[in-house]
């Protein structure tokens, strides 16, 4: 039975802190190995049923069909518990305005009182957890294959940049890199980033996406494509590893020809993803080999002589884990600045 002694007092209630993107970036810089390890741990906790990760909720607009805002509520109940939600918008036309497509915040809630105690700028957190997930998958799925790899990136945006950074930080050896983007200007700009990030690695801008796929051992799909455009199975005859970060680029024939690994079966089979379309076509899920956590645990073996596709829908528990890591690191350094008076009405009966 819960008694009044078990309940939080006013003194126990958390203060509220706003953490800027500048603080987030500074906290995460140089800690890539720690973040990848945290993402790995969180995937395993999720596989063990020690998290709560409801379906994402999509807010869409009839007058702005290309735009959306997504809510990702989640809870981690093991280790250092935390509840919370990421609220992330995607407005592709922002790119034409000269600003990033996505913007986000994450709210962290205290599991005891339920009170929110931090709001973090989370476009960086979202990009980092996505990149760390992709890098972890690359480490695991490239095992047993000869290296270094020829890397091909489709889509020259922020997510692609973070994925490339985390691949290098995770020890993926890249012999050559290629990029394709529907915008030749964006492709050239991303090629410039690749050259600065790894000056000794040759970089090629591919005018045709088919040429990039054919010449790559590791393909990163980081676009905003609403429907499949890579539909020719023959493009994948050399059996690359494909990090299908943007989820909707691959046709169903390509999916059916590959070994398919996902982050969460129930989450990824929705919203018109390539694997969702494949389930609708086949009427079953037999084409899925399993989850990345099952591969990590040795429950699923991934062959080195077939095309392997990793399709991560993106789990809110990863956002929470990384956001809490940032918050706790700043707290330990004494760098948090609470918002005075944020919780104002603290007496049930008035004062």
Q: Which two tokens stand for residue 188?
A: 């050239």
d(CA 261, CA 248): 15
Asked if 248 and 146 sit in the same domain, the reply is yes
Residues 167 and 307 placed together within one structural domain of the fold: yes
| 215 lies in the same domain as 184 | yes
Q: 146 and 10, same structural domain?
A: no
Question: Is there a single domain that holds both residue 132 and residue 229?
Answer: yes
For residue 289, report the phi and psi dihedrals to the nearest 5 degrees. Answer: -80, -35
SS (H, E, C) 118-178: EEEECHHHHHHHHHHHHHHHHHHHCCCCCCCEEEEEECCCHHHHHHHHHHHHCCCCEEEEE
The model carries a pTM of 0.92
- Element at 262 (helix H, strand E): strand 259-262
% of the chain residues with pLDDT over 90? 85
- Report if residue 280 sits inside a domain: yes
Q: Where are the beta strands (DSSP E) in 33-130?
A: 51-52, 57-60, 68-76, 82-90, 102-109, 116-121
Exposed/middle/buried for residue 165 (C-beta within 10 Å: 0-12, 13-18, 19+):
middle
> Residues 127, 101: contact at Cβ < 8 Å?
no
Q: What is the CATH number of the domain that holds 184?
A: 3.40.50.720
Pick the closest to residue 166 from 153, 179, 183 (CA basis): 153
Residue 201 lies in domain: 126-311
CATH number for the domain spanning 19: value is: 3.30.1780.10
The confidence score (pLDDT) of residue 193 equals: 98
Residues 82 and 143 in one domain: no
pLDDT tens digit string along 224-258?
899 999 999 999 999 999 999 999 999 999 999 99
**pLDDT tens for residues 295-330?**
999 999 999 999 999 999 999 999 999 999 999 999
Q: How many domains does the chain contain in total?
A: 2
Q: Is residue 22 one of the residues assigned to a domain?
A: yes
Alpha helices by DSSP H, the chain? 21-28, 32-47, 123-141, 158-169, 184-197, 209-214, 252-257, 265-268, 274-282, 292-296, 316-332
> Rounded to the nearest 10 degrees, how much is the dihedral formed by the CA atoms of 308, 129, 91, 195?
-70
- Write down the pLDDT at residue 6: 53
Assess whether 86 and 166 both reside in one domain.
no
How many whole angstroms separate alpha carbon 168 and alpha carbon 197? 9
User: What's the pLDDT at 4?
Assistant: 47
Asked if 112 contacts 8 with a C-beta cutoff of 8 angstroms, the reply is: yes
Q: Are 94 and 191 found together in one domain?
A: no
Q: Considering the domain boundaries, does residue 229 fall inside one?
A: yes
> What is the per-residue pLDDT across 112-142, written as a single tens digit (0 to 9) for each?
889 999 999 999 999 999 999 999 999 999 9
In a domain, 350, yes or no: no
Domain co-membership, 135 together with 120: no
Beta pairing partners, 69: 59, 89
Q: What percent of the chain has pLDDT over 70?
A: 96
For 214-231, write each residue's pLDDT tens digit.
Answer: 999 999 999 989 999 999
pLDDT: is 11 or 80 the higher one? 80
Among 239, 243, 241, which residue's Cα sits nearest to residue 314? 243
85 and 140 together in one domain: no
* Cα–Cα distance, 230 to 236 (Å, whole number): 10
pLDDT in tens, 325-334: 999 999 999 9
Distance, in Å, from the CA atom of 28 to the CA atom of 40, rounded to the nearest integer, reads 16
Residue 338 lies in a domain: no
**Cα–Cα distance measured from residue 52 to residue 49, given in angstroms and rounded to the nearest whole number:** 8
In a domain, 77, yes or no: yes
Residues 298, 243 share a domain = yes
**133 and 199 inside one domain:** yes
Sign of CA dihedral 119, 329, 100, 320: negative
- Whether 235 contacts 152, CB under 8 Å: no
Q: Is residue 198 part of a domain?
A: yes
The CA–CA distances, whole Å, from 243 to 59, 154, 339 equal 26, 10, 40
In a domain, 346, yes or no: no
């Amino acid at each position: 039975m819960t008694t009044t002694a078990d309940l939080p007092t006013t003194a126990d209630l958390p203060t509220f802190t706003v953490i800027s993107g500048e603080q987030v970036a500074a906290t995460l810089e140089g800690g890539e190995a720690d973040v990848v390890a945290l993402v790995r741990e969180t995937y395993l906790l999720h596989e063990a049923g020690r998290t709560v990760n409801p379906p994402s909720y999509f807010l869409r607009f009839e007058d702005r069909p290309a735009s959306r805002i997504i809510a990702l509520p989640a809870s981690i109940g093991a280790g250092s518990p935390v509840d919370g939600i990421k609220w992330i918008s995607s407005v592709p036309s922002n790119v034409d305005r000269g600003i990033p497509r996505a913007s986000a915040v994450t709210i962290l809630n205290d599991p005891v009182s339920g009170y929110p105690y931090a709001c973090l700028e989370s476009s960086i957190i979202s990009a980092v957890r996505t990149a760390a997930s992709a890098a972890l998958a690359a480490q695991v799925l490239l095992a047993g294959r000869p290296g270094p790899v020829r890397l091909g990136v489709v889509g020259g945006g922020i997510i692609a940049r973070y994925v490339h950074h985390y691949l290098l930080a995770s020890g993926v050896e890249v012999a050559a890199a290629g990029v394709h983007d529907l915008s030749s200007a964006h492709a050239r700009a991303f090629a410039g980033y690749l050259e600065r990030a790894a000056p000794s690695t040759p970089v090629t801008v591919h005018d045709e996406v088919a040429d990039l796929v054919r010449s790559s051992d590791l393909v990163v799909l980081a676009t905003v494509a609403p429907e499949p455009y890579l539909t020719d199975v023959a493009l994948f005859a050399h059996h690359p590893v494909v990090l299908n970060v943007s989820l909707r680029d691959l046709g169903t024939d390509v999916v059916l020809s590959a070994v398919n690994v996902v982050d969460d079966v129930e989450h990824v089979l929705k919203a018109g993803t390539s694997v969702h379309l494949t389930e609708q076509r086949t009427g079953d899920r037999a084409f899925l080999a399993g989850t990345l956590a099952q591969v990590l645990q040795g429950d699923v073996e991934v062959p080195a002589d077939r095309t392997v596709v990793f399709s991560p829908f993106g789990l809110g528990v990863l956002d929470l884990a990384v956001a809490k890591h940032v918050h706790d690191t700043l707290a330990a350094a004494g760098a948090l600045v609470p918002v005075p008076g944020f919780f104002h009405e603290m007496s049930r009966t008035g004062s």
